[in-house]
Amino acid sequence: MRIILASKSPRRKELLELMGVRNFEIIVSQVDETMDDTITLEENSKMLAYYKAKAVFDKTFGDRMVIGSDTLVAKSGKVYGKPKTKEEAFKMIKELKASTHQVITSLCVLKEENGKVEEYVDYDISNVEIKNITDEEIQAWIDTGEAMDKAGAYAIQGKFAVHISKIDGNYNSIMGLPISKLYDMIKEYIEL
């Protein structure tokens, strides 16, 4: 079975490798990630994961499994995407500090085998609490350069981990891929 990750995220690649998936391709989906304000954040995340997987699925052929995922960081209904500037990253962390926010990570797997197509879409929600950190600590984090390609301007598995005081949920989902859910779907294709 050809396994394709529809993401350029190095974290998702790392998580697939951690699961024991050895032979997979990466094809970036290039979809518009505009959210629909008439549906919930969970539905938006699932929709975006589906669109990412579907875009790659539609341009590939044969027996294959395409994995799409989307991660949203939200607090009080406000979504924190990937910052475009260092100033925006600073503002995000300043708003997220000393409080709890949600990380919604969705998973979509589209599989075709012997002409039969199956789809699976699900999501996880985790709560993440960031300590009350100083402006200097925020700036030091921003200056590492690691904040710019991450939703909410941080990564739980990187240097920012020292500022995470509590999580309630799935660590790997916060990192970008709910591998416990994915495992059940693809375990027959994994070499442990």
Active site (catalytic) residues: 70
List the one residue out of 49, 15, 53, 44 whose CA is nearest residue 171.
15
What are residue 85's phi and psi, to 5 degrees?
-135, 165
Rounded CA separation 178/170 (Å): 7
- Strand ranges, E, within 31-132: 64-75, 78-80, 99-113, 116-130
Phi, psi of 124 (to 5 degrees): -125, 145
165 sits in which H/E element:
strand 164-168
What are 41's two structure tokens?
Answer: 């954040």
Place of tokens 């790997």: 172
